[in-house]
């Protein structure tokens, strides 16, 4: 049975894939799906509850919450994929060097990984953001450069296992340069767990961005993000519940979708689970 067929038979993974695809479509079609300009406000309709004109109500200055939620999905996708892409690029590079090189190089890189892991990631991000402008690009870079360690360890372990395989030994015996051996034979056979880690990492990055925005040091208004919509709602929870519930549910469903898809891919791509 092929990988795609196995994935389709995994109901939880299929549910996660549907959530991810829907989120992509919402983000891509935001200008057509949003009923209003996310920055347009109407002071005559401040903190208006869900209605026919505003399906998810309005916020403290009369902006349509549904429109801001739809455009906020773009921020979540951008932060998730760019930051995890940066983390994977760093992790794959250092992991491949450590796993294939071994010896002193491996020891130095892994001790550096150990040092990075001793710092609580979220507080490390807070410390860095405190010295930088809280722009979307700075946030993505900071999340990426503080979350590559898991990918590095995965790639190192895979390369150490592949190093003694016949095709790797044969490539070395033919005089291939180490970089070519890694790029042509090592990484293509080591990327399955990295792909799973990428999907799961997107969920973590979305949560991190939402937490930073909720604390007021993430994406800054008027740019809409689910985190800063939550921030607006915490002071008016008793009279405007929709400002907290709507972005909270969106974050929950999105993170759950990516986690279900990642776990499903892990089951499908792990050869030890193919017989189950």
CATH of the domain at 59: 1.10.3720.10
- For the CA atoms of 130, 133, 136, 137, the dihedral, rounded to the nearest 10 degrees, stands at -100
| 247 domain residue, yes or no | yes
**Rounded to whole angstroms, how far apart are CA atoms 192 and 63?**
43
Answer whether 1's CB lies under 8 Å from 276's CB.
Answer: no
| 46 domain residue, yes or no | no
Instruction: Give the pLDDT of the chain (276 residues) as one tens digit per residue.
Output: 566 677 677 788 888 889 999 999 999 999 999 999 998 888 888 888 898 888 998 988 889 999 999 999 998 889 889 999 999 999 999 998 998 888 899 999 999 999 988 888 788 888 777 777 777 888 888 889 988 999 999 999 888 888 777 777 787 777 777 777 777 777 887 788 888 889 989 998 988 888 888 887 878 778 888 888 888 888 787 888 898 899 999 999 999 999 998 888 887 776 554 444
**Rounded to whole angstroms, how far apart are CA atoms 206 and 255?**
7
| 232 domain residue, yes or no | yes
| 183 domain residue, yes or no | yes
**In 29-148, alpha helices (H):** 30-33, 65-101, 103-118, 121-129, 136-145
Compute the Cα dihedral for 235, 240, 241, 243 and give only its sign: negative
Q: Is 120 left (phi over 0), alpha (psi -120 to 50) or beta?
A: beta
- For the CA atoms of 64, 65, 68, 69, the dihedral, rounded to the nearest 10 degrees, stands at -150
Answer whether 244's CB lies under 8 Å from 257's CB.
Answer: no
pLDDT digits (tens, 9 = 90+) for 80-108: 899 999 999 999 999 989 988 888 999 99
Q: Which two tokens stand for residue 83?
A: 């930051």
Tokens 């860095």 sit on residue: 128
| 263 domain residue, yes or no | yes
pLDDT digits (tens, 9 = 90+) for 209-242: 888 888 878 787 788 888 888 888 887 878 888 9
| 111 domain residue, yes or no | yes
| 47 domain residue, yes or no | no
pTM value surpassing 0.75: yes
- Please count the structural domains in the chain: 1
Q: Which two tokens stand for residue 172?
A: 């070395």
| 94 domain residue, yes or no | yes
Tokens 């008016």 sit on residue: 236
Is residue 273 within a helix (H) or strand (E), and if so which, with residue range?
none
Range of the domain at 159: 3-39+55-273
- Which residues lie below 8 Å from residue 29, measured CB to CB, with a gap of 6+? none
């Amino acid at each position: 049975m092929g990988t795609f067929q196995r994935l389709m038979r995994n109901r939880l993974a299929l549910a996660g894939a549907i959530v991810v695809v829907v989120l992509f479509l919402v983000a891509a079609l935001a200008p057509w799906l949003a009923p209003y300009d996310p920055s347009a406000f109407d002071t005559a309709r401040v903190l208006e509850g869900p209605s026919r004109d505003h399906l998810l109500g309005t916020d403290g200055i009369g902006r349509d919450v549904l429109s801001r939620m739809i455009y906020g999905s773009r921020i979540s996708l951008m932060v998730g994929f760019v930051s995890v892409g940066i983390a994977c690029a760093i992790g794959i590079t250092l992991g491949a060097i450590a796993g294939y090189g071994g010896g002193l190089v491996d020891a130095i890189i892994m001790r550096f990984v150990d040092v990075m892991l001793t710092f609580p990631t979220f507080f490390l991000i807070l410390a860095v953001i405190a010295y930088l402008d809280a722009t979307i690009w700075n946030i993505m870079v900071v999340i990426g450069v503080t979350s590559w360690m898991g990918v590095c360890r995965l790639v190192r372990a895979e390369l150490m296992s592949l190093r003694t395989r016949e095709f790797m030994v044969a490539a070395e015996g033919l005089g291939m340069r180490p970089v070519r051996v890694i790029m042509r034979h090592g990484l293509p056979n080591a990327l399955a767990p990295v792909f799973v880690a990428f999907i799961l990492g997107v969920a973590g990055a979305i949560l991190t961005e939402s937490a930073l925005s909720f604390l007021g040091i993430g994406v800054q208004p008027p740019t809409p993000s689910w985190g800063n919509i939550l921030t607006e709602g915490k002071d008016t929870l008793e009279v405007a519940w929709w400002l907290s519930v709507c972005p909270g549910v969106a974050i929950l469903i999105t993170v759950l979708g990516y986690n279900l898809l990642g776990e499903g891919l892990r089951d499908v791509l792990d050869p030890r689970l193919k017989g189950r």
